[in-house]
Structure 1
């Protein structure tokens, strides 16, 4: 909107200079008025200056309309962002969040793709990213609470089949390195899995000292 106003001001000033610097027929000596009539035509002269003045006024009106249009476009874009954010899963306000912004073609999207699970399109030209992208990163691979919540939300679909709880990537986060709360979540999942095994007439092969692989 500032660019539109700046452009409108430049055109207005230049056209105003033309109108102001050309002499008014009522202010010039009659000799020059008659000479103008012979060489050009007074009516055409007035008409030309009048058209320049009309163009100046039209540019101002176009700039006003275009600024209003940009305002509504911005409001519509913000509404799209609001709707997009409403579809995102709820985020704990205490979770650390980072907003990445900057000049075009400085690597913002590439950086987001590297450090999060987002999949942002990357191209060699400017303004590739045209909408808001949200990426999530697991800190030190500690997402057991999320996985436990997922397990409990879908376990009812597998109650007629034996379940096995597998903790992978223990080379990155050993089971014994878990916090007390996380270990409790793992044990709760183990207990639920044992119920399905016993319910099928089998015997649990777990013991309290068993390690998960």
Structure 2
């Protein structure tokens, strides 16, 4: 059974795009057919909507695949499960190549080491861009906007020890991101998902 809210990760986003192209319909047409705003499907595909109601996603795949509600729900469940397996394999491979975590970062503070870390970040972003140009570009644009909003605040968020979540499975990571997303909604006094996405990503 699907959760009330589903995080739209790259795997789901790519499938939406693939099936929409196969259907021969525009994002605007599909959005209208399922009673959403004209830009809704486009925002999904571009990574600008992070979380949707499961009922909305069910309606979307019903429209894309011309299937009934039960079949659509099963399709989404299988989609999430398949991504969970792929993520597990990817995580295992990543752990083998993970950078060393230093116990005393103060010993590393100098310009040369700073350049090395920036170079490593840049290499990671280039790798992500090579694999998914549109999504990575959109995320970098959003990161830049967040940085200009409050650089100190963003650096503080980046300093949280997310690497300690490395043992979390795919579903637990989804739950974590969903809680963060809900916090943003709470503190921005926004209740509508579409409104939040347009407000934070326009």
What TM-score does the superposition give when structure 1 sets the normalisation length?
0.26
Larger radius of gyration: 1
Larger relative contact order (C-alpha < 8 A, sep ≥ 6)? 2
More helix by share: 2
